[in-house]
Amino acid sequence: MTVKQISGIHPYNDLFYRSCFFNCFFPIVKLHDQEVAPYLLNDQFVYGITENGLLQIDWMSAHDPEKIMNLQGIQVEKVTYCPNLIEKVKQDVTSGRPVIVWVDPYVQRGRKEYLTTHSRHSILITGFDENQQIFHVLENRHLDNLSYEHQVLSFKDVQKGYDTFHEHFQPNDQFHSYAAFYFDSDKLSTELFNRKTTYFLRNMHGQIDEIEKGITALETFYEQFSQWDDIDKLVASFNQIMNTKKVELYRLNLIKDDLPELVEWMERILAEWEKARHQAAKLLFSGEMSSRYQANIKASLEQIIHDETHWLEALAIKCKRECGVS
């Protein structure tokens, strides 16, 4: 067969989750009529400070995402390095198995990273045309935004991107740069996450102390903020936090009817981070550390600390009730 296309796979552009891998993986989840919610409700997000004093949010998972995947009946064949990439992809796609591979956009013609920036990037391969020597793929147009769509890449470009990824990043034996997915209904067992709110609260219960430590880190950043003078890194930090807070709000809206108070607090937190980022962008464009912009950012940070504290208090009460802790 010279042409093959797996039908029913659509781009996932609801939100950016963790890395481009998951935005390639979630279309596979939906292909098999499974939900994305168990992955989103599995995580805890905790503020932290880098060695350079920059604020960030760390992600922690209650369950291994691969465990969730397997419970959804989705199985995977993983390969550390695939020496016969093109033939292997064609075999798997012909068998109805979509494939995710890691590539380096540095050698992908037509991308802004072409011959300028090395980066880790995954693509979802859903079909091929042997006559035209092309793969049908899902990937985003730009690495820094949600623009996933159906595209075509030549066999040659995919091979080159895959090889360059290994040559430049040299991943260890624990990293799998090739993954082919298939569905096994006999292994479907969703009892763990059938009740979304219960699943979420039980996942969060064991991490309350870590989240509280994160708020302490946020307070430390607030106190030291006047010492910060790298505006580019500040904006990048706020962007990462904003993206994570969007995920937090999105997932809370999945269980909004049970936890409306948590949704309301998170809406306030996200709105305040938007204000802080807007002021940081003004700092960036002004080219200097304006005291007025700095004061506005500090005011937003102070409000965020207040709101995060109340959000955590409300969460802790809900977790204790769910887990039967007095």
pLDDT in tens, 105-129: 888 877 776 657 888 999 999 999 9
100 has a pLDDT exceeding 70: yes
Rounded average pLDDT over 294-300: 93
* 115 or 307, greater pLDDT: 307
Q: Evaluate whether 130 touches 90 at the Cβ level (below 8 Å).
A: yes
Q: How far apart are CA 40 and CA 61, in angstroms?
A: 9
Residue 114, pLDDT score: 65
Q: How far apart are CA 214 and CA 212, in angstroms?
A: 5
289 has a pLDDT exceeding 70: no
- Give the tokens for residue 87: 């033939």
Q: Evaluate whether 37 touches 195 at the Cβ level (below 8 Å).
A: no
136-182 per-position pLDDT tens digit: 999 987 766 778 999 999 999 999 999 999 999 999 999 999 999 99
Beta bridge partners of 181: 76
* 17 or 126, greater pLDDT: 126
Whose tokens are 């072409």? That residue is 114
231 has a pLDDT exceeding 90: no
Q: Which CATH number, 3.90.25, 1.10.10, 1.20.120, 3.30.420, labels domain 195-323?
A: 1.20.120
Q: Evaluate whether 6 touches 98 at the Cβ level (below 8 Å).
A: yes
Residue 265, pLDDT score: 98
Start-end of H helices in 170-227: 196-205, 208-224
Question: Which residues does 224 contact at the CB level (< 8 Å), separation at least 6?
Answer: 53
- Give the tokens for residue 178: 């090739």
4 has a pLDDT exceeding 70: yes
Q: How far apart are CA 198 and CA 295, in angstroms?
A: 41
Rounded average pLDDT over 257-272: 98
Taking the alpha carbons of 158, 161, 165, 166 in that order, is the dihedral positive or negative?
A: positive
Q: 3-class SS at 229?
A: coil
Q: What is the pTM of this model?
A: 0.92
**Helix 196-205 × helix 291-323 angle, to 10°:** 110
Nearest-CA neighbor of 37 among 187, 206, 264, 199? 199
Nearest-CA neighbor of 306 among 219, 228, 248? 219
| DSSP, residue by residue, 92-156 | HHHTT--EEEEE-GGG-TTSTTTTT----EEEEEEEEETTTTEEEEEEESSTTS--EEEEEEEHH
